[in-house]
Amino acid sequence: MASITIRRLEDSVKSKLRLRAAMHGRSMEEEAREILKAGVTAQSDGLNLAESIRCHITPLGGIDLALPPRQAVRRPPKFGR
């Protein structure tokens, strides 16, 4: 397995990582590995942003919105003379 070193990590980020790790019963190192793994996996699932949002929202139900009627396309403005 590979190893990485993260330099210049803000103190507030380290504190939040320590708290998050404690909540999950893991070491900070293990928590960081899980966060990185989840982040990389989420990006490589092949979904675009709209599909990703739909996957999260669909189980909650939805509503049908009334779409306004389409109007004719306006003429573009004339610039110049």
Residue 45: predicted pLDDT: 57
Q: Over the stretch 22-71, which tens digit does the pLDDT of each residue have?
A: 999 999 999 999 999 988 876 655 668 888 888 888 888 877 889 999 99
Q: Over the stretch 11-27, which tens digit does the pLDDT of each residue have?
A: 999 999 999 999 999 99
Read out DSSP for 3-62?
-----S--HHHHHHHHHHHHHHT--HHHHHHHHHHHHHHHHTS---HHHHHHHHHGGG--
Q: Does the predicted TM-score (pTM) go above 0.85? A: no
Residue 42: predicted pLDDT: 67
Q: Is the pLDDT of residue 8 over 70?
A: yes
